[in-house]
Structure 1
Amino acid sequence: MHTLTQRALAPDLARGVMLLLIALAHAHMYLLPQTTGFRSYALDGSTLDMVVTGVQITLVDGRAMPMFAALFGYGFVQIAARQGDDARRVLRRRSVWLLVFGCAHALLLFFGDILAAYGLLGLLFAGAVRWKDRSLLVFAGLWLVVHGAATALAGLQIAEFGGAAGLASATDPVTAMIDRLMSWGVLTPFLLVDLIVPFLLGVLAARRKMLIEPHEHQKALRAIAFGGIGTAVMGGFPLALVDTGVWNGAPEVALYVLHGLSGVAGGLGYAALMGVLAVRLTQGPVVRALAACGERSLTCYLLQSAVFVAVFVPYAGGLGSRLGTAAASGIAVLTWLATVATAEVLRRNDLNGPAETLLRKLTYR
């Protein structure tokens, strides 16, 4: 078993913090508003709801997933280095099981599952760990155009038919399972399109050991963090103005595309920021707990969804029809803190997360 002292801090710290962003991005999807904007936030909330919506659209939505995609690519290189000639087969087997985990997650808990998209990504790009650096950069640059075009098509659909609303409105578990699987089947390919560029750049960063040896790359990490997060803020803020009703008559689809593309830079920037902080932070109780959460990120991610179902959906807690965005985000923060505490208890008892243990057994047999 890998303990914290045997692992690089930066990747686990990044995953632990990323789970907060994912919780914030997902919680509002369990609400039942009548009308929603481009990022599926309610358009008729209180002033506080609108403020929270604006902050999350600018800093969270479309930023957490690229961050994890970069970390996913980073991890692929590390696994490949350990497995040698058997690397591609192991990576693909792991990806198949991630796809199975994602399907089960969507069936039982959340239509917006991201595990399956990462599984598909791994199946399609397991060989990318052996690509030349130039090939990674050229393909990433060309795919960014595809990403922009796909985002524009999605934006046109939203502009014509409105944002998604009521996707967690089923009043009985069986109907909810059917609805989730149908939504998941449509959403997953679109998520895959968004993940390819940061995944490939994560592979490139792993070859340079930018997060494993962050002290050697502080100048580059600071530049990526400042440039990436700055780009995300500038690219996300205009759409935040649209979705909060501040800016009417704006070029909505163009701003939706800008938000999506700038999210790639934001995800890379957040990951780089964790590399900067890993050098500067002492490994006190808080940092160790966050890293423990990141080391058990699969378990903690699934726990988030389980809590959200228990709290929000009509056939359980039923708060999805009564709360606004701000309250849902507050619940998301509390849920994340609970998963951090759970991960720290597991760490202190020298235990891996159950989901990680199962995935490893299935992958390595």
Structure 2
Amino acid sequence: MNAAPKAERHTSIDTLRGFAVLGILIMNIQGFAMVMQAYSNPLAHMDFSGANQDVWFFSHVFFAMKAMTIFSTLFGAGIILMLGDEKQARIGVHYRRMIWLLVIGLIHAWIFWWGDILVPYAVMGMLVVFARRMSATGLMIFGLALIAIAGALMTLGMMFIPMMEEEQLQAMLLPTPEMVSETVALYQQGFLARLGENMATTAEAEVMQVTFFAPRLAGAMLVGMALFKMGFLTLRWSVTQYAISAILALGIGIPLTWWSSMHHIETGFALDQIWIGESANYFLSPIVAFGYASVVMLMCKFGLFRMLLHPFTAAGRMAFTNYLTQTLIMTYIFVGSPGLGLIGTVERVDQLKIVIAVWIAQLIISPLWLSVFRFGPLEWVWRSLTYWKFQPMRKTAPVSAEPSPPGG
């Protein structure tokens, strides 16, 4: 499999994971700061002009579905990293790990935030593990095929949006002012008061994940397995290969994604046109994500960037903690008592300022924490639950003989 040495493998993968876990926040914050429909239709809630429109445009071009795609591919690569592709791999450890991820994800989704990704990750992780012994070529073909099938289903579904009943449209994209006001008031009222609404939204979101998102997610995981076996994620490619990949992928992906975002704005998110921009971004996002990953791998090849990348590497090693911490921070800011209840009051420009502040905090705290401890706090909990044994936390403690779970 031409695997890289363990230290190198962890560094490159964790660095890329660090960029991804920070990048997803710029999209996720919209699901906390505004009503759910505004995530797909920014005209549904608050101002969408001037600098606010610019922030949406920037986020959509450079981050929408890109960071999530990277995160998903790394999850698949992590399965290979942990189990390898041997027939007698300790599959029981993997399943215990996925079951606990599912439990944590269900709590995260149903209690805290409807936009959870841990539940579908756990479910798909239980399935794609059986493909780990396939060749890199087979994994890549099968993975890209799943992504394409999911994209075709999504496109077909969005083309029928104009034919939906009014109530369906209101629930998905076009909430009435009264619906927006009621949702905002409910979330501002407090954490417990909005619990039922969050659960109802979570139920809808998880149905969408199973029908439209799951095949893409599984496909991305398979692609991640392929990229690991190909040596892409373990720095086995040459500087020239990474540079060419970055130039081609970003040179194609960014301009076309730019066009798709402009199409949304120019058509005013018209119901009969929205599928064009969304489908374009869907199919282009893996290309852009591959370009981003190529840039990060290229930087990892040079010791010159080691100090610059170190905080991102640490953030990636603590990705589980950082992801869930982002939810806690956003919940405190935007949900009412015991939080601040600022949902519906923070425009996109100020949302970006919050994102940058969280980025800075996590890039500072992650390396400081890991200078003392072996794992992030939630990585330690997850790992201890997986092995039914408290794991050594401080760096002075004896090292366990158990293999390290990917990302933890």
Q: Same fold (TM over 0.5)?
A: yes
User: In 1, distance between residues paired with 2:266 and 2:47?
Assistant: 9
Quick one: which amino acid aligns to residue 203 of structure 1? M
The aligned residue for residue 163 of structure 1 is 173
Aligned length: 361
Contact 1:36 1:163 in 2 (8 A): yes
Residue 296 of structure 2: aligned partner: 274
Q: CA deviation at 1:15?
A: 1.1
- In structure 1, the residue matched to 2:203 is 185
Q: How does 1:187-336 map to 2 (within 5 A)?
A: 187=205, 188-189=209-210, 190-214=212-236, 216-245=237-266, 251-282=273-304, 284-315=306-337, 316-336=339-359
Select between 225-234 and 348-357 the one with higher mean Cα deviation.
225-234
Shift of 1:157: 6.3
Q: Distance in 1 between matches of 2:59 and 2:214?
A: 22
* Secondary structure of the corresponding residue to residue 179 of structure 1: helix
Stretch moving more, 290-299 or 262-271: 262-271
If the length of structure 1 is used for normalisation, what is the TM-score? 0.88
Separation (CA, whole Å) in 1 of partners of 2:26 and 2:243: 25
Is the Cα–Cα contact under 8 Å of residues 38 and 155 in structure 1 kept in the other structure?
no
User: How is 1:20-169 mapped onto 2 (pairs within 5 angstroms)?
Assistant: 20-32=22-34, 36=38, 38=40, 40=42, 42=45, 44-81=47-84, 85-156=88-159, 161=169, 163=173, 169=186
CA displacement, residues 312-365 of structure 1 (integer Å, 9 cap, x when unaligned): 123421222211111112101111221222211111213411111111122233
- 2:391 equivalent in structure 1: none
Give how far 1:229 is off.
3.0
Whether the 8 Å contact between 1:67 and 1:267 is mirrored in structure 2 is yes
- Between the aligned partners of 1:83 and 1:237, the Cα distance in structure 2 is 43
Deviation at 1:296, TM superposition (A): 0.6
Deviation at 1:164, TM superposition (A): 7.2
Query: Quick check: which has more Rg, 1 or 2?
Result: 2
* TM-score, length basis structure 2: 0.79
Secondary structure of the residue that 1:352 maps to in structure 2? coil
Amino acid of the structure 2 residue aligned with 1:268: F
Question: How far apart, in 1, do the equivalents of 2:64 and 2:279 lie?
Answer: 13
Structure 1: which 5+ residue stretches go unaligned? none
Q: What residue in structure 2 maps to residue 362 of structure 1?
A: 385
Tell me what 2:402 maps to.
none
Distance 1:292 1:58, change over 3 A: same
Alignment-mate amino acid for residue 341 of structure 1: I
Rounded to whole Å, the distance in 1 between the matches of 2:336 and 2:18 is: 30
Aligned equivalent of 1:343, options 357, 363, 366: 366
Structure 1 residues 231, 193: closer, same or farther in 2, change over 3 A?
A: farther
Unpaired segments ≥5 residues, structure 2: 1-5, 389-408
- 1:249-280 CA-to-partner distances (Å, cap 9, x unmatched) read 68321221111111122222222221111112
Q: Counterpart of 1:174?
A: 192
Q: Deviations over 1:274-321 (max 9, x none)?
A: 111111253654422221111110001111111111111234212222
Q: 1:308 to 1:164 in 2, by over 3 A?
A: farther
The one-character-per-residue Cα deviations of 1:236-258 (angstroms, maximum 9, x if unpaired) are 22332244456676832122111
Contact 2:190 2:335 in 1 (8 A): no
Q: Distance in 2 between matches of 1:195 and 1:115?
A: 11
In the alignment, the residues of structure 2 paired with residue 314 and residue 163 of structure 1 have an alpha-carbon distance, to the nearest angstrom, of: 24
Aligned counterpart for 2:11 among listed residues 9, 12, 15: 9
CA–CA separation in structure 1 for the residues paired with 2:147 and 2:319: 27
Aligned residues of 2:299 and 2:305 also touching (Cα < 8 A): no
The one-letter amino acid paired with 2:366 is A
- Identify if the C-alpha distance between structure 1 residues 141 and 302 changes in structure 2 by more than 3 Å, giving closer, same or farther: closer
- Partner Cα separation in structure 2 for residue 355 and residue 116 of structure 1: 16
Q: Which has the higher helix share?
A: 1
Structure 1 window deviating more from structure 2 (261-270 vs 9-18): it is: 261-270
CA, structure 1 residues 308+277, in 2 after alignment: closer, same or farther (shift >3 Å)?
same
1:32–1:248 CA distance, 2 compared to 1 (3 A): closer
